[in-house]
Amino acid sequence: AAEGAKAAEAAEEGAGRFRVKAAGGCEGEVAAHEAALEQSRTSISLAEARLDEAEAGLAALREAAEAAAAAAEQEFFEPDADDVLEENFPPGRRRFEPRQLTEAEEAAVSEILQPGNLAEKLFEINNTPITRKDIATLKPLEWLNDEVINCFVELLRQHASEAEQAGEPLPKVHIFSSLFYTKLAESPEYTYANVRRWTRRAKVDLFSRDLVIVPINQGNMHWTLGLINLRQKRFEFIDSMHGSDGGRLAVLRRFLEDEHKDKKCAPLDLSDWQDVIYTIADTPHQTNGFDCGMFMSRAAEHLVRGVMVDFTQDDMPDFRRRMILELAQSRLAH
């Protein structure tokens, strides 16, 4: 019995030592887990700090982008004092210098201008065919015809639409074809009903635009440009020969009133809108009798791009070849 008691005591002592050892082992594991947890907390704190820093950087980038867009919009509509030649000026204050065509592009233009069947269709833009006869009007000393003008207008529309969809800080523009003004004012007199559906078919609200550009073919003899500048509340007239508007701004004013009454079902007060006829000090001047169509088209392009209308007569030969390339490629050249 005594021996049995001693054996039990020894077993209990061993069990006690085992429990102490086991407890010590668990304490070590707990300490290790606590250390790992503390390390994880430190890592999380560092990650949160980095996340806060990244979010602050992103917010700064967004603010800078918004400021840049606002500055670009202000630059378009509010030029620096040094840029203003007179009280009135066309929209757009950034300069645009078209790049020179490459040798390959020049060769392609020369190939297009080769003699051939004048009825041959060379390319097509928005279901409008461009024939060799049409392209021949882009040779030196020739008047541009309506087909060339309107196909170029389509390229301007395309460029404006792509820029707007991309969020570029350019003016929101709508451009009518050369037929618009004739239908509106010369059939044989002012008739709003002739163009009443034009904006509905184009799915455009003119009053959401900054600029409305109206090419005008004056008596099949001279091309000019009318502008409805909704942002600055002005009706504007650009003529490369710098003549009178001949009452055309009054026509555009009457059209805008009728358009607002028809589409918005309310009268439009234009009493504080100005009429602006640009002078030779404001816009490029033509010095021959056949480049008016090119002057008008390039003025429209510069307005769409939001840049200064500041080219010269010397640019016309290059502009003609450039337009051939643009029509062939169905997009404006960069």
Amino acid at 255: F
Residue 101 phi/psi, 5-degree rounding, is -65, 145
Structure tokens at 229: 């500048």
Selecting among 222, 245, 291, 302, the annotated active-site residue is: 222
Helices (DSSP H) in the chain: which residue ranges? 2-77, 103-112, 132-136, 146-165, 178-185, 198-201, 248-264, 292-305, 316-329
Show the CA angle centred on residue 272, arms to residues 278 and 193, nearest 5°.
80
- List 146, 239, 282, 291, catalytic entry: 239
Q: Catalytic site residue 285?
A: no
Tokens of 114: 């080769």
Q: Is 222 one of the catalytic residues?
A: yes
Strand ordering across the sheet containing 211-218: 173-175, 211-218, 222-229, 234-238, 274-277
CA–CA gap between residue 48 and residue 286 (Å, rounded): 65
Query: Which own/partner contact pairs does 163-170 have at CB distance under 8 Å and 24+ positions apart?
Result: 167/69, 169/68, 169/69, 169/72, 169/73, 169/76, 169/306, 170/76, 170/304, 170/305, 170/306
Taken in order 53, 57, 62, 63, is the CA torsion positive or negative? positive
Q: Which of 151, 245, 282, 292 is catalytic?
A: 292
Any catalytic annotation for residue 282?
no
Q: What is the CA radius of gyration of the chain?
A: 36
Backbone angles phi, psi at 206, to 5 degrees: -55, -30
Residue in the structure block whose two tokens are 């307005």: 303
Active site members = 222, 239, 292
